[in-house]
């Protein structure tokens, strides 16, 4: 049985606003049941920003409906605010889990402090689909700080795992991440030291994906490096990752929703009629 179904590589970034040079690591063109409930993922890879004074680079107000955004900040600092009066700051090693649900307008920028000082921005934004029954749920935020994301130290100084969402089985105990999710999903922030070998148990009925942010690892005899997304084959129930150079990975797996996906820009629904209604509602100011 082969372990790896396919590999997606990116070596080209596009700008989102003026604050986010982004590599598309789960491209929209491949959106479907092979990645469900994950939709798309963009990665800003350790990009050095010079100080910009009072100008906070980023993206102004824009709408979303029908899914969740998961923003993982590895380095740097972001600030957000929305049409419902919510605002906050996402700092290094923190995560913001935003449920757009029935519709929200929000903006994302470098924080005032980061704009003043400059520095490296290293971050992921992942879109997670909502099941049909939750598409029109009320918008909300879950703020995951460095303190409330559980961290598992691996034996023999092999590295550590932060459980952003879902579960990770560590020997006799199971470590659970803090957010509520609308469908079963695991997100693991994995940092492995050189020469580490680590096994991960997988649910063979789920979609299992490994994104290599940095470093170099070997999986099933193949070598992978930064800006590569590894899709694991179905029916695989475990994987061994050998670390050739210190590596940072995001291991993502979830139960497929097996529902139609219709996406247009910032809206992800189940039918064309629902997409059309989203545009009508947006134009009528119902997201404000």
Strands 119-129 and 67-75, sheet pairing: antiparallel
Taking the C-alpha atoms of residue 191 and residue 40, their distance in angstroms, rounded to an integer, is 22
Contact indicator for 257, 205 with CB cutoff of 8 Å = no
Classify residue 273 as exposed, middle or buried by CB count within 10 Å of its CB (0-12, 13-18, 19+): exposed
Classify residue 285 as exposed, middle or buried by CB count within 10 Å of its CB (0-12, 13-18, 19+): exposed
Examine the pLDDT at 184 and tell me if it is beyond 90. yes
- 155: its two tokens: 């034996």
Examine the pLDDT at 77 and tell me if it is beyond 90. yes
Q: Which of the two residues, 172 and 92, has the higher pLDDT score?
A: 92
Taking the C-alpha atoms of residue 51 and residue 70, their distance in angstroms, rounded to an integer, is 26
Taking the C-alpha atoms of residue 174 and residue 90, their distance in angstroms, rounded to an integer, is 27
Per-residue confidence (pLDDT) for residue 175, from 0 to 100: 96
Examine the pLDDT at 241 and tell me if it is beyond 80. yes
The answer for residues whose C-beta is within 8 angstroms of residue 167's C-beta and 6 or more apart is: 174, 175, 176, 177, 186
Return the CATH number of the domain spanning residue range 12-146. Answer: 2.60.120.10
Give me the sign of the Cα torsion angle 145, 150, 155, 159: negative
Per-residue confidence (pLDDT) for residue 171, from 0 to 100: 77
Instruction: Render pLDDT for 95-128 as a digit per residue (tens, 0 to 9).
Output: 999 999 999 999 999 999 999 999 999 999 999 9
Taking the C-alpha atoms of residue 164 and residue 168, their distance in angstroms, rounded to an integer, is 10
Picking from 158, 97, 152, the residue whose alpha carbon sits closest to that of residue 128 is 97
Task: Work out the number of other CB atoms within 10 angstroms of the CB of residue 1.
Answer: 7
Q: pTM of the entire structure?
A: 0.96
Examine the pLDDT at 62 and tell me if it is beyond 90. yes
Per-residue confidence (pLDDT) for residue 225, from 0 to 100: 96
Question: What single-letter DSSP state applies at residue 259?
Answer: -
3 state SS of 276: helix
Q: Which of the two residues, 29 and 232, has the higher pLDDT score?
A: 232
Per-residue confidence (pLDDT) for residue 31, from 0 to 100: 83
The answer for residues whose C-beta is within 8 angstroms of residue 156's C-beta and 6 or more apart is: none
Contact indicator for 206, 255 with CB cutoff of 8 Å = yes
- 184: its two tokens: 């079963």
Helices (H), 173-267: none
For residue 104, the cross-strand partners are 64
Per-residue confidence (pLDDT) for residue 12, from 0 to 100: 81
* Domain spans in the chain, listed from the N-terminal domain onward: 12-146
């Amino acid at each position: 049985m082969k372990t790896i179904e396919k590999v997606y590589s990116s070596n080209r970034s596009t700008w989102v606003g003026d604050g986010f040079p982004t590599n598309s690591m789960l491209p929209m063109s491949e959106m479907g049941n092979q990645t469900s409930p994950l939709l798309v993922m963009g990665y800003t890879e350790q990009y050095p920003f010079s100080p910009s004074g009072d100008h906070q680079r980023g993206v102004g107000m824009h709408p979303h409906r029908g899914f969740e955004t998961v923003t993982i900040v590895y380095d740097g600092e972001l600030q957000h605010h929305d049409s419902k009066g919510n605002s906050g700051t996402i700092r290094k090693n923190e995560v913001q889990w935003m449920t757009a649900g029935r519709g929200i307008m929000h903006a994302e920028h470098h924080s005032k402090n980061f704009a003043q000082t400059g520095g490296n921005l290293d971050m992921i934004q992942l879109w997670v689909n909502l099941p049909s029954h939750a598409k029109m749920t009320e918008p909300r935020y879950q703020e995951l700080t460095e303190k409330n994301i559980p961290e598992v130290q691996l034996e023999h100084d092999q590295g550590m795992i932060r459980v952003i969402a879902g579960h990770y089985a560590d020997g006799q105990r199971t470590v659970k991440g803090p957010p509520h999710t609308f469908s079963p999903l695991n997100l693991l922030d994995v940092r492995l030291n050189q020469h580490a070998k680590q096994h991960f148990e997988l649910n063979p009925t789920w979609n299992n994906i490994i994104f290599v942010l940095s470093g170099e690892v070997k999986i099933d005899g193949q070598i992978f490096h930064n800006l590569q997304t590894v899709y694991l084959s179905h029916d695989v129930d475990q994987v061994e990752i050998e670390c050739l150079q210190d590596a940072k990975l995001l291991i993502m797996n979830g139960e497929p929703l097996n529902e139609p996906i219709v996406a247009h820009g910032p809206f992800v629904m189940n039918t064309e009629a629902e997409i059309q209604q989203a545009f009508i509602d947006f134009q009528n100011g119902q997201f404000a």
